[in-house]
């Protein structure tokens, strides 16, 4: 079976959800986001596991990003004080939600960033990786606007977009990972190449 690009997995699922005309603007798309992040996380070493609605003392982020190495085989991930989402958290909104409004929210600025140190914010088509100080570390837009995003979800996608999106998500999931090998540094440098 050929490797299916992360972008296609994500957008095919988003398109299918929208086509039902029965989904909500935000939460109906959570499975597509988790599927996308887990597909990227499964290719990393150690793997990164995306847990939907993890509990914690600072509210309930939409997703927590955990190093799979924190859990033993067949052990259900459980959030305790000793186990935090080492790779950060994710906050997602619907496609028409303003990214500026999301990033300025009290929830992100006063709860998630101080507690978790790294946050990936998305409105399905815009992605912002935000550090503990509130600085935007990485950005990626799948389209110029929401209309373009929905066209992309139901149409063809350029290979360059597939490659850039995969590299972006990999960098996001590796941002808090220790760089132990020269190949780790090489990945980061190569992922920024045009």
Residue 126, both tokens: 């815009």
Beta strands in 56-124 (DSSP E): 63-67, 89-92, 118-122
Q: Number of structural domains, the chain?
A: 1
Q: Residue 68's pLDDT is what?
A: 80
Over the stretch 142-189, which tens digit does the pLDDT of each residue have? 999 999 999 999 999 999 999 999 999 999 999 976 545 454 444 434
Q: Is residue 63 part of a domain?
A: yes
Report CA-CA distances (Å) from 190 to 42, 53, 124, 168: 20, 33, 26, 11
Q: Is residue 1 part of a domain?
A: no
Q: Residue 55's pLDDT is what?
A: 80
pLDDT tier at 124, thresholds 50, 70, 90:
very high
* This prediction's pTM: 0.86
Q: Is residue 108 part of a domain?
A: yes
Report CA-CA distances (Å) from 181 to 8, 65, 70, 185: 30, 22, 20, 7
Over the stretch 46-98, which tens digit does the pLDDT of each residue have? 899 999 998 877 889 999 999 886 556 666 655 455 468 989 999 999 999 99
CATH of the domain at 47: 3.90.1570
Per the model's pLDDT, the better-predicted residue between 111 and 77 turns out to be 111
Domain that holds residue 35: 6-191
Q: Is residue 81 part of a domain?
A: yes
- 44 burial via Cβ count (<10 Å: 0-12, 13-18, 19+): middle
């Amino acid at each position: 079976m050929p490797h299916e690009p992360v972008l296609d997995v994500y957008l095919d699922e988003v398109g299918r959800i929208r086509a039902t005309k029965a989904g909500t603007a935000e939460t109906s798309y959570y499975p597509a986001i988790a599927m996308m992040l887990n597909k990227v996380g499964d290719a990393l070493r150690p793997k990164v596991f995306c847990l939907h609605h993890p509990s914690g003392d600072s509210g309930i982020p939409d997703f927590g990003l955990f190093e799979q190495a924190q859990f033993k085989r067949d052990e259900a991930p459980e959030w305790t004080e000793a186990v935090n989402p080492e790779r950060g958290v994710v906050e997602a909104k619907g496609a028409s939600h303003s990214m500026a409004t999301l990033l300025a929210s009290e929830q992100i600025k006063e709860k998630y960033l101080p507690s978790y140190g790294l946050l990936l914010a998305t409105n399905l088509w815009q992605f912002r990786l935000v550090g503990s100080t509130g600085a935007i570390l990485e950005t990626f837009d799948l389209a110029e606007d929401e209309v373009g995003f929905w066209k992309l979800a139901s149409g063809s996608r350029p290979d360059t977009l597939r490659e850039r999106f995969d590299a972006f998500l990999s960098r996001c999931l590796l941002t808090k990972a220790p760089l132990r090998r020269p190949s780790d540094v090489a990945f980061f440098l190569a992922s920024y190449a045009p």
